[in-house]
Chain A
Amino acid sequence: MVGHKFCEKLLAKDIKNEFEIIVFGEETHRAYDRVHLTEYFSGKSVEDLSLSAPDWYASNQIKLYLDDAVIEIDKFKRVITSAGGIELTYDFLVLATGSAAFVPTVPGTDKFGVFVYRTIDDLELITSFAYKAKKAAVIGGGLLGLEAAKAMMDLDLETHVVEFADRLMPRQLDESGSEFLKSKLEHLGIKVHLHKNTSSISGKEKVDGLEFKDNSQLEVDMVVISAGIKPRDELAKECGLRTGPRGGIIVNNKLQTSDPCIYAIGECALFQGMIYGLVAPGYEMADIVASQLTGTDKEFTDFDMSTKLKLLGVDVASFGDAMGMDNECKTVVFEDKIRGIYKRLNVSMDGKFLLGGILVGDASAYNMLLQTYKNSMLLPSDIEEIFMKVDRTNGNKNAGAGVSALPDSALICSCESVSKGAICCAVKDYGITDLNGIKKVTKAGTGCGGCIPMVKDIINEALKQQGKSVKTIICAHFEYSRQELFDLIKVHAIKTFDEALDKFGQGAGCEVCKPALASILASAWNDFILKQATIQDTNDRYLANIQKGGTYSVVPRIPAGEITPEKLIVIGQIAQKYNLYCKITGGQRIDMFGAHIHELPYIWEELIAAGFESGHAYGKSVRTVKSCVGSTWCRFGLHDSVGFAIEIENRYKGLRSPHKLKSAVSGCVRECAEAQSKDFGLIATEKGWNLFVCGNGGSKPQHAQLLASDIDEKLCIKYIDRFLMFYIKTAEPLTRTSTWLNKLEGGIEYLKEVIVDDSLSIGEKLEQEMQLLIDAYQCEWKETVNNPEIRKRFSHFVNSSEPDPTIKFREERGQKLPEDWKIAVDG
């Protein structure tokens, strides 16, 4: 990460284009985000974690050698040799070799089933082994150890954490803080063993347990060692650079090693006897070396090691002089054993300045406290009132109220060294209004992400100062957000577009607000949509999908993709009779193309007679619930995925929403139905089902996230009811669930609170509203074919019964296809 950051910084600073950059990496992957490595277990891929696009190096003229470590440095000739035999001379050499896992000298670390937790390769090894394991021990109760413990939990293992010291996270937490964290972890099912000195790892070839110095034992079938880091200084040592007695390449405040042409940055560098094992100081070092090389004199001084993280959903933060060891100080402590919140602030003897502190269970005040400490801001006299209060509503409000008090020089994003002034500047001078824009322009929030709530507050504050309001409206005809309009329509019992326009809008509407209102009205009442045909979008208006040439395609519902031979024959006969092109869709059903508009009611009459219903392929609505074959046939299947998928598809069929909804049910972890790419998906587990939400295929693929695990079918339905209704009520028009979640303040954690914990107490209401919609379901094609007035609209001409004479087909691979459309060359 630090090496990659150095390349970025040097590219930015090397205006004269003086440098040729060559990068050697030992791993097979491009530089990736190690801070969020555990997310690999919750479904992120190597590519997701990657810090750059595949062509980033090439497009910046950087030569990149992967899987090719430098094995020799000749500092006199200034030549390096790589494992792959490449020999190169250098003007400057930057060592960003990082660190390896520190493996204590305990017998048995070489046994099968013992791992370290450091690289993606480690994670891959762990994952493939964990499949067969039940109980895992993590040696090390520090930051990395707890990260590893989370990974073990994600892999569904009984998890034990073994720590040598008498408390968890000994570098960051005091004893009380550790106690609070421990009880939180135990509540989550992690067993914590403190003050345990591992004497050996037992087992024949394969690990079967741990033995401790106090003669106690722990039976496990897998061990992950995460007991600290060991700087990768072997290369430096071999070529004669000075290293520390306990490892680390010694550097001065310019980050030069004992050879001034060789620099060392990141976790391999030893500065004033200290290794800086966090990403922010590493980035700072990268910046300093890039500055040195491009002629700016910048020096490294000691770096603030404050951290805030979420470990297994528990906030933990420490900043400044956390233990109150370096200064004489007074201590203010707040404890809430019911909610598991511990806060400790160390204040100067005169009570004026904050020196450091610890937060466990609720770190919402962290950013504000850190800024108060770093900027030596005067503390108010009622310190408890301001900093100790538990904010029940929104964790960020404390920070929000305070950002205006910060000076422009306040460092907000320490990973990227972005100040408050720089963010405000981007808003004012570049007209940026959202977090993504700020990320692009300033890079703030792109490192560990801990500052994001504060960045958002600063953006909003800066916008407010300019007199801009932050609001998304539907269009010029309705100055409301979709959520507001939805509520208005429900409360005022509005049933038609015209009523809504008269009451809440202006003008005559347009192609943006009409379909948006049509969707809201359908989601609110589930009325027959063709009662207001002219506000429906293209496809909804004729309950079919318009295709090239102006013909339509027809998709009957085939719940979960299960279909009888009789029904298959009917589809074949109809396709033959109306000469329709046939294709299997991605959602396990059959699409028939090339129907003339006037044929649609006749086709549907026949489909309905054979027992088919509308498949809503034309609507922003529930499409299909794809399924794998499940336990009924498959030798790996755990539950009946087809049966459950049919139940779900029939429950939500016809449900209209801000955008289309796709779902899938997989009968085991092999995930043949691809449920993790759907808006909502289920995967069978030994104990029940895992419910995933907000996945997406399409142009911006996104893995679905786990909403609840090991739940029974009844609970699945309950949570899906709540989830869908919450989405339907709050999303902007044409926003898929994935984008909606990305924009949702608090993300998946907040969504879990609302859906699973019912933190807003709306769960029951959402379920009732969903039930109303489900009860109101009717097949809209059945209503259409039985309504002569509406049937009349299915005709190309109103003054002739002949079809559109301009429609032409050609033939290919034995089926008809539309004539390709003409593209106007000169207008």
Chain B
Amino acid sequence: MENITLQETENLKWFKACNIEDIPADGGACVKYKDLQIAIFHFARRGKWFATQNLCPHRFQMALSRGMLGEVDGEPKLACPFHKKTFSLETGKCLDDEEYLIETYPVKIEAGAVYIEIEQ
């Protein structure tokens, strides 16, 4: 398995990941950036976009993009399809087990395209 943890550097860049219609409303999909897999989510009910790593840290499965979106006390979250571990889409913290943390990425929408800010 590749190490996909990103390090903070000053060399950041917006990467055009896909078009907005590629991501289902209130769902997610996965994009490939070099050797990296990034899950993008369209939280349509709140009009918000999120991006996280695609790897679920619980059993190391490339599956988060196929997970289910939800909300707990107003905090947007994601449930992994394998064992329903849930993660905050804002902080990346696992809400059931504080051992786990996932990477989150800034997202912006421009002219119908989805951009993710990523290290070069």
Contact across chains for B70 and A509 when beta carbons are under 8 A apart: yes
- List of B residues within 8 angstroms of A514 by Cβ: 68, 70
- List of A residues within 8 angstroms of B62 by Cβ: 550, 796, 804, 806-807
From A476, A477, A511, A797, B30 is in contact (CB under 8 Å) with A797
A510-B71, A806-B1 given; 13 more Cβ-contact pairs under 8 Å: A477-B71, A508-B46, A508-B69, A508-B70, A509-B71, A533-B24, A541-B66, A796-B30, A796-B62, A797-B30, A798-B29, A802-B32, A824-B58
Interface stretch, picked from B6-14, B80-88, B103-111, is B80-88
Q: Is A498's CB within 8 Å of the partner chain B?
A: yes
- List of A residues within 8 angstroms of B79 by Cβ: 510-511
Q: When chains A and B are docked, how far (Å) is the Cα of A686 from the Cα of B86?
A: 55
Q: Is B50's CB within 8 Å of the partner chain A?
A: no
Q: When chains A and B are docked, how far (Å) is the Cα of A538 from the Cα of B62?
A: 14
Q: Is A549's CB within 8 Å of the partner chain B?
A: yes
Q: Is A325's CB within 8 Å of the partner chain B?
A: no
Contact across chains for B69 and A534 when beta carbons are under 8 A apart: yes
Interface centre among B26, B46, B84, B99 (most CB of A within 10 A): B26
Q: Is A29's CB within 8 Å of the partner chain B?
A: no
Q: Is A469's CB within 8 Å of the partner chain B?
A: no
B94 smallest CB distance to A (angstroms): 10
Contact across chains for A798 and B22 when beta carbons are under 8 A apart: yes
Q: Is A105's CB within 8 Å of the partner chain B?
A: no
A-facing residues in B28-85 (Cβ within 8 Å): 29-32, 37, 40, 43, 45-46, 57-63, 66, 68-72, 74, 76-77, 79, 81-82, 84
Q: Is B18's CB within 8 Å of the partner chain A?
A: yes
Contact across chains for B70 and A550 when beta carbons are under 8 A apart: no
B40 smallest CB distance to A (angstroms): 8
- List of B residues within 8 angstroms of A537 by Cβ: 68
- List of B residues within 8 angstroms of A171 by Cβ: none
- List of B residues within 8 angstroms of A583 by Cβ: none
- List of A residues within 8 angstroms of B40 by Cβ: 798
B-facing residues in A780-813 (Cβ within 8 Å): 793, 796-800, 802, 804, 806-807
9 smallest beta-carbon distances between A and B, as pairs: A510-B70, A534-B27, A538-B81, A511-B79, A508-B71, A827-B99, A798-B22, A821-B59, A798-B29
Q: When chains A and B are docked, how far (Å) is the Cα of A821 from the Cα of B76?
A: 28
Contact across chains for A799 and B63 when beta carbons are under 8 A apart: no
Q: Is B118's CB within 8 Å of the partner chain A?
A: no
- List of A residues within 8 angstroms of B102 by Cβ: none
Between A and B, 26 residue pairs with Cβ closer than 8 Å are A476-B72, A498-B45, A507-B71, A508-B70, A509-B70, A510-B71, A510-B77, A511-B79, A511-B84, A514-B68, A534-B24, A534-B27, A534-B68, A538-B82, A548-B61, A550-B63, A796-B62, A797-B32, A799-B18, A799-B31, A800-B31, A806-B62, A821-B59, A822-B1, A824-B60, A824-B100
Contact across chains for A546 and B82 when beta carbons are under 8 A apart: yes
A473 smallest CB distance to B (angstroms): 15
Number of interface residues of B (CB under 8 A): 42
- Nearest B residue to A820 via CB reads B59
- List of B residues within 8 angstroms of A541 by Cβ: 66, 81
Contact across chains for B60 and A542 when beta carbons are under 8 A apart: no
- List of B residues within 8 angstroms of A821 by Cβ: 59-61
Q: When chains A and B are docked, how far (Å) is the Cα of A498 from the Cα of B68?
A: 15
From A508, A534, A800, A822, B60 is in contact (CB under 8 Å) with A822
Contact across chains for B30 and A507 when beta carbons are under 8 A apart: no
Q: Is A584's CB within 8 Å of the partner chain B?
A: no
Q: Between A and B, how many residue pairs show CB distances below 8 Å?
A: 105
Contact across chains for B30 and A798 when beta carbons are under 8 A apart: yes
From A509, A550, A799, B32 is in contact (CB under 8 Å) with A799
Q: When chains A and B are docked, how far (Å) is the Cα of A508 from the Cα of B86?
A: 15
Q: When chains A and B are docked, how far (Å) is the Cα of A796 from the Cα of B76?
A: 24
Interface centre among A476, A508, A509 (most CB of B within 10 A): A508
Q: When chains A and B are docked, how far (Å) is the Cα of A550 from the Cα of B66?
A: 10
Contact across chains for A799 and B24 when beta carbons are under 8 A apart: no
- Spell out A's residues near B (CB within 8 Å): 476-477, 498, 501, 507-511, 514-515, 533-535, 537-538, 541-542, 546, 548-550, 793, 796-800, 802, 804, 806-807, 821-824, 827
Contact across chains for B32 and A824 when beta carbons are under 8 A apart: no
Interface centre among A510, A514, A533, A793 (most CB of B within 10 A): A510
Interface centre among B17, B27, B57 (most CB of A within 10 A): B27
- Nearest A residue to B76 via CB reads A508
Known: A796-B30, A797-B31, A824-B58. A511 touches B63 (CB 8 A): no
- List of A residues within 8 angstroms of B37 by Cβ: 797, 804, 806
Q: When chains A and B are docked, how far (Å) is the Cα of A659 from the Cα of B29?
A: 28
Q: When chains A and B are docked, how far (Å) is the Cα of A515 from the Cα of B79?
A: 12
B78 smallest CB distance to A (angstroms): 9
Q: When chains A and B are docked, how far (Å) is the Cα of A384 from the Cα of B1?
A: 80
Q: When chains A and B are docked, how far (Å) is the Cα of A535 from the Cα of B68?
A: 7
Contact across chains for A542 and B70 when beta carbons are under 8 A apart: no
Known: A534-B24, A534-B25, A799-B18. A546 touches B81 (CB 8 A): yes
Q: When chains A and B are docked, how far (Å) is the Cα of A346 from the Cα of B20?
A: 81
A304 smallest CB distance to B (angstroms): 53
Contact across chains for B24 and A793 when beta carbons are under 8 A apart: yes
- List of A residues within 8 angstroms of B99 by Cβ: 824, 827
Q: When chains A and B are docked, how far (Å) is the Cα of A827 from the Cα of B59?
A: 10
B105 smallest CB distance to A (angstroms): 15
Q: When chains A and B are docked, how far (Å) is the Cα of A553 from the Cα of B77?
A: 28
- List of B residues within 8 angstroms of A507 by Cβ: 71, 74
A477 smallest CB distance to B (angstroms): 8
- List of A residues within 8 angstroms of B26 by Cβ: 534-535
Contact across chains for B100 and A827 when beta carbons are under 8 A apart: yes
- List of A residues within 8 angstroms of B61 by Cβ: 548-550, 821
Q: When chains A and B are docked, how far (Å) is the Cα of A534 from the Cα of B79?
A: 12
From B24, B60, B66, B74, A538 is in contact (CB under 8 Å) with B66
Contact across chains for A800 and B81 when beta carbons are under 8 A apart: no
- Nearest B residue to A511 via CB reads B79
Q: When chains A and B are docked, how far (Å) is the Cα of A509 from the Cα of B27?
A: 12
- List of A residues within 8 angstroms of B2 by Cβ: 806
Q: When chains A and B are docked, how far (Å) is the Cα of A799 from the Cα of B22?
A: 9
- List of B residues within 8 angstroms of A476 by Cβ: 72
- Nearest A residue to B26 via CB reads A534
- List of B residues within 8 angstroms of A798 by Cβ: 17-18, 22-23, 29-31, 40
A723 smallest CB distance to B (angstroms): 30
A596 smallest CB distance to B (angstroms): 12
Contact across chains for A799 and B74 when beta carbons are under 8 A apart: no
- List of B residues within 8 angstroms of A804 by Cβ: 37, 62
Known: A798-B30, A799-B31. A511 touches B86 (CB 8 A): yes
From A511, A824, A827, B70 is in contact (CB under 8 Å) with A511
A819 smallest CB distance to B (angstroms): 10
A36 smallest CB distance to B (angstroms): 39
- List of A residues within 8 angstroms of B18 by Cβ: 798-799
Contact across chains for B17 and A799 when beta carbons are under 8 A apart: yes
- List of A residues within 8 angstroms of B58 by Cβ: 824
